[in-house]
Amino acid sequence: DAGVIQSPRHEVTEMGQEVTLRCKPISGHNSLFWYRQTMMRGLELLIYFNNNVPIDDSGMPEDRFSAKMPNASFSTLKIQPSEPRDSAVYFCASSLVVTASSYEQYFGPGTRLTVT
Amino acid sequence: AQSVAQPEDQVNVAEGNPLTVKCTYSVSGNPYLFWYVQYPNRGLQFLLKYITGDNLVKGSYGFEAEFNKSQTSFHLKKPSALVSDSALYFCAVRDITQAGTALIFGKGTTLSVSS
């Protein structure tokens, strides 16, 4: 299995530009999570989907952030317009809920976003 | 409210010595507990989990964790540390307020193993 795939791995953009981060979860997984990691705030859950439906987006910082999951194999996180304080590493993770013995999440390699 | 705490920002240990990375939790009901490791410039990797059963859980890379219900703890342990174990370690608990598999992560503990 290829694991969770994220693209791009690195993104450098100027303030005000639109940024789109992409994620392909592990095939067959039914939950997908977007996290943001910074030195100051640690690992923050932004939003998560179950069977392609957003369940909890309370972690999304503000309206500039949006996420979609049009199908089971693809999700995007968009920031428009981007600001320097959005600079962070963004992780996507997926999991498969079958029984109570599952629940572990599998993380992608992350996208390092730098907004100048 | 549910939470997980990692009381130590950093743990230093010499190679060959036993290591412990501490985690305590606060949840309603039976906890589902997890440990993850993050190497520099990488995503988090699943190490082990406790759902039910034996309080001593064995995981990847020789790590194990002991679930202690009375102390609400789930400490990560390894009998003999390696320099390659140096990384950032996260404890997590399942968020039971949400359907599905949402986890609440601790702030992380940096483990530094010296040769």
3-state secondary structure of A84: helix
Q: Quick one: pLDDT band at residue B28, thresholds 50, 70, 90?
A: confident
Q: B100, A55: Cβ pair inside 8 Å?
A: yes
Question: What CATH number is attached to the domain comprising B105?
Answer: 2.60.40.10
Find residues 36-55 of chain B whose CB sits inside 8 Å of chain A: 36, 42-46, 49, 51-52
Task: Output B95 or B90, whichever has higher pLDDT.
Answer: B90
Cβ <8 Å between A56 and B102: yes
pLDDT class for A112, splitting at 50, 70, 90?
Answer: very high
Question: Measured between alpha carbons, how far is A32 from B104 in angstroms, rounded to an integer?
Answer: 15
Name the pLDDT band for A101 (thresholds 50, 70, 90): low
Q: Cβ contacts (< 8 Å) between A4 and chain B: which residues?
A: 43
Q: How close A67 comes to chain B (CA, Å)?
A: 17
| A96 — pLDDT class (breaks 50, 70, 90) | confident
In this structure, of A9-23, A91-105, B3-17, the range with the lowest mean pLDDT score is A91-105
Is residue B99 very low, low, confident or very high in pLDDT (cuts 50, 70, 90)?
A: low
**pLDDT tens-digit profile of B54-82?**
899 999 999 999 999 999 999 999 999 99
Q: What are phi and psi of B60, to 5 degrees?
A: -75, 160
Which carries the bigger pLDDT value, residue A47 or residue A96? Answer: A47
* Whether the predicted pLDDT of B95 surpasses 90: no
- Contacts (Cβ under 8 Å, ≥6 apart) of A58: none
Mean pLDDT of the residues in chain A: 92
pLDDT, residue B10, reads 97
- On the question of pLDDT at B41 being above 80, the answer is yes
Is residue B24 within 8 Å of residue B106, measured between CB atoms?
no
Q: Is the pLDDT of residue A97 over 70?
A: yes
Show the CA angle centred on residue A108, arms to residues A55 and B76, nearest 5°.
90
Average pLDDT over residues B37-44: 92
CB pairs under 8 A between A and B: 64
Lowest-pLDDT range, A80-94, A95-109, B35-49?
A: A95-109
Q: Cβ atoms within 10 A of the Cβ of B46, count?
A: 18
Could you tell me the two tokens for A100?
Answer: 């109570």
- Interface touch A4/B32, C-beta < 8 Å: no
CA dihedral over A73, B96, A109, A22, signed as positive or negative: positive
Average pLDDT over residues A102-111: 89
Please, are residues A111 and A6 in contact by the beta-carbon 8 Å criterion?
A: yes
Mention every residue, 6+ apart, whose C-beta is less than 8 A from residue A96: A26, A28, A29, A30, A31, A102
Three-class secondary structure of residue B55 per DSSP: coil
Q: Which two tokens stand for residue A72?
A: 């089971």
Which tokens is B94 given?
């399942």
Tell me what pLDDT residue B52 has. Answer: 83
The confidence score (pLDDT) of residue B88 equals 97
Nearest by CB: A50 against B51, B94, B99 = B99
Give the residue numbers spanning the domain of B16.
3-114
Strands B44-50 and B33-38: antiparallel
If one counts the domains in chain B, the total is 1
Is the alpha carbon torsion for B67, B71, B74, B76 positive or negative? negative
Judge whether B65 and B76 are in contact, CB under 8 Å.
yes
